[in-house]
Amino acid sequence: MALWRAYQRALTAHPWKVQVLTAAAGGETRSAGTQDWPDPDHGLPGLWLCVGGWYKVLDRLIPGTTRVDALKKMLLDQGGFAPCFLGCFLSLVGTLNGLSAQDNWAKLQQDYPDALITNYYLWPAVQLANFYLVPLHYRLAVVQCVAVIWNSYLSWKAHRL
């Protein structure tokens, strides 16, 4: 409990720094959990920081915390941000795994549709709850927790032939 209170104080005092550390720690936790090398998350903490920035943009575009506001945020997140984020993520993983541009494009065309459909089984419900129940400065931490499971799936997808 004391650790949680210390985290809350640090997050209030230094939100950006704590979110950077949370993203880095989350990536390392997922790396240890999937035991992949090259790890699809390794070297990509900037994408996770992008998610934290995206939440700030969403709160400016759609201020409020009602159920309707949360639904609007989720629809914008899953209709616009998620497809772009997933495409960038899979492309960067292919690049980090040493795929040529042609092979990376072929792998993206093969994996992206199924990964996006699978995304829609998990993330809309998570994000709806996240946008409705969780204060802005904790949203990235919630996503990092769920991402442990999600990135295991993406790791499997990215390394499947």
Over the chain (161 residues), the average pLDDT of each successive run of 10 is 70 64 56 47 61 88 95 97 92 90 95 96 97 91 90 81 62
Report the distance separating Cα 76 and Cα 10, nearest Å.
Answer: 30
pLDDT at 34 (0 to 100): 47
| pTM confidence score | 0.74
**3-state SS, residue 135:** coil
Report the distance separating Cα 61 and Cα 56, nearest Å.
Answer: 9
**Which residue do the tokens 């992949």 mark?**
36
Report the distance separating Cα 96 and Cα 43, nearest Å.
Answer: 8
Taking alpha carbons only, the member of 121, 118, 8, 136 closest to residue 69 is 136
